[in-house]
């Protein structure tokens, strides 16, 4: 109990030290927690013991939250959603250690020539896109209108891709094998898709999500997802979004969108699609966690795989893997885009 009280009294402060006015000494957070436990219980705990216990608590919290989402009572699917067979049978697993991705700054073969010879559109290799189609916008949001004069919209994550020029830097690349375990391995999983698809259609987005929204007065709140694409061909596209926990698919949403010819290209807009109850509940559970490192511990095991295909030919047009952390920026949601390759 004293440990829990100390966590609430002393929030995370990074590498900063805190000076106690009555003592004039500088303490780190773990030292303050150890000091509090000593004063309350008489028991001595070292700074390292406190740090270890915090990590154990974070892992336990992550398992508890994810185990709740594995039960089918949370799977309130929206139209078109498909439940995974793995959703209820997925074993409880310890969260894996967050790994840093290995980046390769050398351009992929063929992309450097494209920037010189202009044999490909300028967005190829510089944003999420291929010669046939590119992602223009992606956002997950909550909006609330209390009265006709009061409207608020909060962006949890957002990508807004303007048309790049040939002079812009090519995307960094990440070896796709580093993230195989974050996504399903069975039919339709990331590994199988990469083996069958064209390499330049695979991308990774690291989101730092903005969870600063106050959801206490959430009556009438609408949670939605918007995605927009554009391309040079008149197609009917199918967009599949798979939500994954511990590398297992728990829910999938499949949407179909028809092309609209605008300003010399074909546009595809999936506008304000309702977010499923699973994700809404997931956001609410995250918001209940007292500290961001606990949220990040949970998010280590939460991913989304988005696959765009030509409905008629089944050609894979785009595959985007999303991974998440909590944003600490005052500017809200942030993101970084990588190309997925296999070296």
pLDDT of residue 328: 84
The per-residue pLDDT for 324 is 94
> How many CA atoms within 13 Å lie on the side-chain side of 155?
16
CA nearest to 221, candidates 290, 269, 270, 275 = 275
Q: How far is 303 from 12, CA to CA, in rounded Å?
A: 26
Which one, of 247, 271, 275, lies nearest residue 257 by Cα?
271
**Nearest Cα residue to 82 out of 247, 269, 238, 276:** 276
Query: Residue 188: what pLDDT?
Result: 78
Query: What pTM value is reported for the model?
Result: 0.67
The predicted pLDDT at position 23 comes to: 55
CB 153 within 8 A of CB 143: yes
Average pLDDT taken over every residue of the chain: 76
pLDDT tens digit string along 79-110?
334 444 443 333 333 333 344 444 443 333 33
Pairing of strands 316-326, 202-209: parallel
pLDDT of residue 104: 44
pLDDT bin (cut points 50, 70, 90) of residue 240 is very high
Interval 2-51: pLDDT, tens: 666 666 666 665 555 555 545 556 667 777 778 777 777 888 888 778 77
When comparing pLDDT for 177 and 75, which is higher?
177
**pLDDT tens-digit profile of 304-336?**
999 999 999 999 999 999 999 998 877 788 999
Q: With H, G, I as helix, E, B as strand and everything else as coil, classify residue 113.
A: helix
Specify the higher pLDDT residue, 177 or 4.
177
Looking at residues 262-287, what average pLDDT do you find?
A: 90
Average pLDDT value for residue range 190-194? 90
């Amino acid at each position: 109990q004293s440990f829990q009280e100390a966590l609430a009294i002393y929030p995370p402060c990074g590498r900063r030290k805190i000076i106690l006015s009555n003592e004039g000494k500088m303490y780190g957070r773990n030292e303050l927690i150890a000091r509090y436990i000593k004063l309350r219980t008489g028991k001595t705990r070292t700074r390292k013991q406190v740090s270890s216990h915090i990590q154990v608590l974070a892992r336990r919290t992550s398992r508890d939250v994810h185990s709740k989402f594995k039960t089918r009572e949370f799977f309130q699917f929206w139209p078109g959603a498909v439940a995974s067979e793995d959703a209820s049978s997925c074993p409880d697993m310890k969260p894996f250690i967050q790994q840093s991705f290995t980046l390769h700054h050398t351009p992929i073969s063929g992309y450097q020539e494209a920037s010189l010879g202009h044999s490909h559109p300028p967005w190829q290799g510089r944003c999420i896109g291929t010669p046939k189609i590119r992602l223009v916008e992606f956002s997950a949001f909550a909006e609330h209108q209390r009265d006709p004069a009061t409207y608020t919209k909060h962006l949890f994550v957002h990508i807004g891709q303007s048309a790049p020029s040939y002079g812009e830097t090519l995307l960094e690349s990440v070896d796709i094998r580093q993230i195989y375990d974050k996504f399903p391995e069975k039919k339709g999983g990331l590994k199988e898709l990469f083996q069958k698809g064209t390499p330049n259609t695979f991308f990774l987005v690291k989101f730092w999500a903005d969870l600063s929204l106050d959801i206490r007065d959430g009556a009438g709140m609408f949670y939605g997802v918007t995605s927009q694409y554009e391309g040079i061909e008149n197609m009917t596209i199918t967009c599949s979004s798979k939500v994954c926990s511990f590398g297992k698919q728990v829910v999938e949403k499949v949407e179909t969108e028809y092309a609209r010819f605008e300003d010399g290209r074909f546009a595809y807009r999936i506008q304000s699609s309702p977010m499923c109850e699973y994700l809404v509940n997931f956001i609410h559970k995250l918001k209940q966690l007292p500290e961001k490192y606990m949220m990040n511990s949970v998010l280590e095991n939460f991913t989304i795989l988005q696959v765009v295909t030509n409905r008629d030919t089944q050609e894979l047009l785009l595959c985007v893997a999303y991974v998440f952390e909590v944003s600490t920026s005052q500017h809200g949601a942030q993101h970084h885009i990588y190309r997925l390759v296999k070296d």
